[in-house]
Chains A and B, each alone.
Chain A
Amino acid sequence: MRLNSALGRSKTVADLRQDNASQTSSTAHLSTASTEPIKELPRQSVLVVDDSPTDLRYLGRLLEAPDRHVLMAASGEEALKILKGVELALVILDVRMEGMSGFETAERIRADECTRDIPIVFVTATGREEKTIFQGYDAGAVDYLFKPIEANLLRSKVKVFCQLSAQRLLIQKQLQEIQAKNEVLRHQLEEIKTLRGLVPICAKCKSVRDDSGFWQSIENYVSEHSEAEFSHSLCPDCTDELYPGLIRSGNGSDTSK
């Protein structure tokens, strides 16, 4: 019985509950993250792909912002190489290019598990025929803009995509933190289960065999597997044995020091 109380099981569970509560608090914070403005968004990268040097420079300059990297590729092939090593918020892709077209480039991006979720905005000087536009959406576009580019429209759209990407990254980071906390809690729960289970104990010296097969004193074992602490006392029988002449006070049931 004393051992049971010494295990401090309720205290440990309470601690877990407290950890769970703080985890719930993190989750609550997470749920509000999408509605509250995020003050410090991570720097975002945008890739612009166009085979016209003039348009590439134009778009690159247009999208420059203090919190943004603008990467540039002069072809679909070059874009696919850049995509392999960078976390991107958005790809701005010219439709009609020499060599690999914008649609083909988009299909390659969509086919790769690592890049398939990157939003693609097509820009083109092609007429506004529905057929062409739908072809772009089929290739994975989230938007379709026409040259000559309306600068403020493109800037606004890119800003929104960058904010969405930053929020997604923050949520991922928070999710990782929650998963790490869960892992710690899982280990703690496993330890509690060990104490609740069958503990091998020597019938003579009362040493306990731990999970690694080593025998150790029961005090050490309990201390390692719980939050319990021991206070040293003598029971009445041991007191009589060790100090036969000692007169115990009261009913003599406790000689705690």
Chain B
Amino acid sequence: MEATPQNNEPPPINVARLCDTFGDDPEFMAEMYGLYLSDAGQRLTELDAALGTSDTEKIASVAHTLKGTSGNVGAERMSALAAELEQVDSAQAPQKAQDLATALKAEFEAVRAFLKHYVHSPL
């Protein structure tokens, strides 16, 4: 997957957020992004399971966590999608919840690809 952004879209991670907060510390950035990929990947797995069992509370809870964590590391589109999912009543609109979960997973792959490129050769 192409790691660099296309069509003038902003990258899936706003790396300036962590840089502005913690300064230029590649080691810490790599640690944070590694933690985020592991953490968010696990949440998406939990989200899949919750969608499978129509566990509306768990769906909202996972979306909530993804929203906050993604926002903190600068994964702004992930955070926005998670915020939207958190607001969806998945019992009333299961398809919408499913679509948002699919979009989240696609965005997560974009984040992963971007970070793979970024961590090895920072912008």
Contacts and interface: CB of A to CB of B under 8 A. Distances in A.
Interface of A: 51-55, 57-58, 61-62, 96, 98, 124-126, 147-149, 151
Interface string B65-92: 1011101110000010000000000000
A55 B64 contact: no
Contacts of A53: 35, 38-39
Q: Interface range on chain B: under 10, 10 to 19, 20 to 34, or 35 or more? A: 20 to 34
B61 A147 contact: no
Nearest to B65: A52
A57 B67 contact: no
Contact of A147 (B17, B35, B39, B68): B68
A61 B22 CA distance: 8
Contacts of A125: 64-65, 67-68, 71
Contacts of B21: 62, 151
24 contacts: A51-B65, A54-B35, A54-B39, A54-B40, A54-B72, A54-B73, A55-B69, A57-B32, A58-B72, A58-B73, A61-B32, A62-B22, A96-B64, A96-B65, A98-B61, A124-B68, A125-B65, A126-B64, A147-B67, A147-B68, A147-B69, A148-B17, A148-B68, A151-B21
Contacts, number: 54
Contact of B69 (A52, A61, A62, A124): A52
B64 A57 contact: no
A95 B20 CA distance: 26
B72 A147 contact: yes
A54 B64 contact: no
A174 B101 CA distance: 59
Contacts of B67: 125, 147
Contacts of B35: 53-54, 57
Contacts of B9: none
A151 B18 CA distance: 10
A54 B28 contact: no
Contact of B72 (A96, A126, A149): A149
Contact of A57 (B17, B31, B65): B31
B114 interface: no
Contacts of B40: 54
B36 interface: yes
B64 to A, nearest CB: 6
Nearest to A147: B68
A54 B79 contact: no
A251 B68 CA distance: 102
A149 B79 CA distance: 13
Nearest to B74: A148
